[in-house]
Amino acid sequence: MSLEQRLDLKLTQKLALTPQLQMQLKLLQFPQLELSQFLQQQIMENPLLELEEEESQSLENPEEELEPLVINKIEKIMIDDYFSFRADDGRDLGYFNPGIEEKPNFELFYSKKTDLWEYLLWQLRLSNAEDKIRLIAEIIIGNIDEDGYLKATEEEIAKLADSDLESVKKAISLVQDFDPPGVGARDLRECLLLQLKALGLENSILYNIITNHLEDIQKKRYEKLSKIFNLKIEEILKTVKIIEKLDPRPGRNFVEVASSYPIPDVYVKKVEEDYQIILNDEGIPKVRLNRLYREMIEAKKLSSEEKKFLKEKFRNALDLLKGLEQRNRTIYRVTECLIKFQRDFFEKGINFLKPLNLRDVAEQLSLHESTISRVTSNKYLACDHGIFSFKFFFTKALPSKDGAISTSRVKDLIRKIIEEENKENPLSDIEIVEILKKEGIDIARRTVAKYREELKIPPSAARRVKKY
């Protein structure tokens, strides 16, 4: 067998994403905030882009020859030259006032909330514990989560601290004596017992109930507890009310939760008998080409490297501007299509949401499903009924006597059925299935259980409320 070299021609087909197409796909999937950040970054990196609010530095006579310009001199200001120029008028540059009085940042007037770990370390520094126990306690505090629970075992802490279990137990006991009561607990039972201990109720019936019968409390077995402790039901209920006032998450008051509100990408407003689509561009930088740099590209006295640099940036800027235009057009068309498919929802509300999938919209707009998926990801639509994720309008279908019905409608029906149930005898999942079947909706019990959990509604046993 001989080895030889030869040339073969082979015809193949493959999909190649051009830089322009890559830019369009990237812009499509950006939500409002990320798009704003991306555009700000592009303006900083590309000298051919500028904000529309800024005055464009164009040449008065584009025909006249430009002096040799070096990009570095245009983009950068020499600090020494700047201060040297400003010092000529004799003013103190340290207090140079540009003519605009800067207002103080009002965020400076807000005090930062002390977090749980700083608060515990502050108490540790004030304690009289020996140094060895202090070091272990620091490790313990570092393994406490935001709710105030200790997430490491005694063995793990002993290994981290290179210490014995007895010292670890002392350190845990030290931290558990700190404020807030219940901090450093390993589970809910210990958390509640630590809070009772802080109230001096170690020898109470309540302490005994939590220690040995917490599950009975959770499942509302009040008659059983009444017999065990020889107490009236009313007294057991008073005990339960005390337990309800204890804090199952003692660390939550030290956690700053930032309020997060979705920013609509599209507003849909009803105008007479039709709907108007308004794309939200608030907070998004309005970019345009910088005319000075555009004219520099045509200048004859620029070096080849400078021209190559500017032409590349010019091409990138055009791709960005075309991508933004394509993004807005696609979002508008998808919104228009959603109004067409879900017009009953916009007219009457959530109960009239129809089953819809990505393929339906893709076929209507002659686009690929992946494109529709990018457009609808992490984007929101505001209308008269509230602010909804684009994904909200795409729901699966369930069979009913009136044809297909959306899963969102079924979930809303389940929520209303449970709201109207007898609280002393709540409906089981099987009973909810039977009620829905009477409405002409064929659904399995496990599907009802799944939807109930998604609605964060507990099972019937946990919903039962007895009157005594």
The answer to whether the beta carbons of residues 435 and 193 sit under 8 Å apart is no
C-alpha span between 138 and 175 (Å, rounded): 9
**397-463 CATH choice from 1.20.20.10, 3.40.190.10, 3.90.1150.10, 1.10.10.60:** 1.10.10.60
Most distant pair of Cα atoms in the chain: their distance: 104
- DSSP letters spanning 238-260: HHHHHHHHS-S-TTGGG------
Residues 399 and 442: beta-carbon distance below 8 Å: yes
Q: What is the pLDDT of residue 285?
A: 84
In this structure, the number of other CB atoms found within 10 A of the CB of residue 220 comes to 16
- CA distances 362 to 267, 366, 404, Å, are 21, 6, 20
Q: Quote the CA–CA distance of 278 and 382 in Å, as a whole number.
A: 10
pTM for this model (two decimals):
0.56
So what's the pLDDT on residue 284?
Answer: 85
Reduced to 3 states (helix: H, G, I; strand: E, B; else coil), residue 144 is strand
Report CA-CA distances (Å) from 267 to 219, 302, 325, 380: 46, 47, 18, 9
pLDDT in the model for residue 403: 66
Q: Is the dihedral of CA 440, 444, 450, 456 positive or negative?
A: positive
Report yes or no: 382 and 267 within 8 Å, Cβ to Cβ. yes
Alpha-carbon distance of 241 to 238, in angstroms, equals 5
**68-123 pLDDT per residue, tens:** 333 333 333 333 333 333 334 443 333 333 443 444 444 444 455 568 888 999 99
Cβ atoms of residues 371 and 337 within 8 Å = no
Would you state the pLDDT for residue 173? Answer: 93
Place of tokens 């108007």: 276
Q: How far is Cα 339 from Cα 334, in angstroms, rounded to an integer?
A: 9
* Of the candidates 410, 436, 270, 407, the residue with the CA atom closest to the CA atom of residue 348: 270
What is the token pair recorded at 455?
Answer: 């609605």
Identify residue 308 by its one-letter amino acid code: K
**Domain locations in the chain as residue ranges:** 116-254, 266-393, 397-463
Q: What pLDDT sits at residue 445? A: 87
Structure token pair of residue 320: 């960005």
Q: What one-character DSSP code corresponds to residue 106? A: G
Q: What is the residue-wise DSSP string for 365-432?
A: HT--HHHHHHHHTT-EEEETTEEEEGGGG---EEEETTEEEEHHHHHHHHHHHHHTS-TTSPPPHHHH
Interstrand relation of 287-289 and 49-51 (parallel, antiparallel or unpaired): antiparallel
Looking at residue 89, its pLDDT comes to: 41
- CA 398 to CA 228: how far, in whole Å? 49
Below-70 pLDDT ranges, the chain: 1-2, 12-17, 53-114, 255-260, 294-301, 400-403, 466-468
